[in-house]
Structure 1
Amino acid sequence: MHLIQLFLPLYDNDGQPFAKTLFDGVRTELTDRFGGVTAFVRSPAVGAWEDDRGEVQRDDVVLFEVMADHVDHGWWAAYRVRLEARFRQDEVLVRAVRAERL
């Protein structure tokens, strides 16, 4: 079993919030494919990273999680590219970790 997490920005590069419909679309897509999704949308996480110029960048992000028996790397790579285009990002973080259902 794997826990797959997607980190999506709340705001575009101009500081404008993304439309709720974008997040609703992700929720629907993941639910349709995996049978369920958990979305942490009420209290966003704050992400920070260093850009190519050495400056620290910050983002408020929404976390989406799904559980899957198998990680289809090809599907996730293509989905990440679609999310990067949809949310106008250089990179969207998607990660998978092994998980055990208790």
Structure 2
Amino acid sequence: MAHLIEILLPLPKSDAHSEFDALRSELTDKFGGATLYMNAPAQGLWSEGDTVEEDRIIVIEVMVDDLDRKWWASYREALEIRFKQEEIVVRSTAIDRL
């Protein structure tokens, strides 16, 4: 069964287009394609104690035929280091290609 992988990354305040271009190239080389939604970043809010934190988020999508959970967990950890984040959300949804 095919899966849609979504990576939610905070958009840095500085211009990071080259970093995202590199990420798109990495994923395209490995999986044959990747889509980055960068022009209209989403707003992410979450509660941290008494305060509300906010990020502007871009979404990266990759479709895969086989879900390698171990590889994706390792990649998520590498992205957390690379983008200096405590946690990056990487999620998978089973899909039917129509």
Question: What interval of TM-score do these two structures reach, taking the shorter chain for normalisation?
Answer: over 0.9
Quick one: distance in 1 between partners of 2:51 and 2:67? Answer: 33
Partner of residue 38, structure 1? 35
Does 2:94 align with 1:64? no
Unaligned runs of 5+ in 2: none
* CA apart distance, 1:69: 1.1
Does 2:6 align with 1:2? no
Q: Which has the higher strand share?
A: 2
Q: Normalized against structure 1, the TM-score is what?
A: 0.89
User: Percent identity between the aligned chains?
Assistant: 45
Q: State how 1:1-102 maps to structure 2 within 5 Å.
A: 1-11=2-12, 16-51=13-48, 53-102=49-98
Unaligned runs of 5+ in 1: none
Q: Extract structure 1 runs of 4+ deviating beyond 3 A.
A: none
Quick one: distance in 2 between partners of 1:5 and 1:24? Answer: 16
- Summarize deviations over 1:3-58 as a string: whole Å, max 9, x none: 000011112xxxx325211111110111011100111011111111122x242111
Quick one: distance in 1 between partners of 2:51 and 2:91? Answer: 24
Question: Match for 1:80: what amino acid?
Answer: R
Question: Match for 1:23: what amino acid?
Answer: F
Number of residue-to-residue matches in the alignment: 97
| CA RMSD between the two structures | 1.1
